[in-house]
Amino acid sequence: MNEHFGVHRRAEDGSSVLELTPREGKAPPDQVRRALTLASLGFNARRKTLANALSSAAPRSRWEAALSELGKSPLARAEELSLDDFLFLARGWSPER
């Protein structure tokens, strides 16, 4: 488990629990909420690339470009990103109201 989050195996069926550790003062609360929204979308779409999983929030090409800026493959999955990566993805994005 790294300092941002960890995945713990708990059941024989392979399900996992994601544990997030809050960090004070690192990002504005609204950006953290947006990052957690994106992480939820990414983790809820099993066996999908992150760009595909987030395509309901913005065009897939936007997420592919952002992943490239992070040095990640456009085929990256949610579990390959850190909390800081999700915070980066959340910059400049807001859910439609």
Domain ranges of the chain: 26-90
Residue 2 confidence (pLDDT) above 80: no
- pLDDT, average across residues 7-13: 60
pTM: 0.73
What pLDDT score was predicted for residue 97? 46
* 41-88 residue pLDDT tens: 999 988 899 999 999 999 999 999 999 999 999 999 999 999 899 999
Is the distance from CB of 20 to CB of 87 less than 8 angstroms?
Answer: no
Beta strands in the chain (DSSP E): 5-9, 16-20
CATH class of the domain at 26-90: mainly alpha
φ/ψ of 40, rounded to 5, equals -60, -45
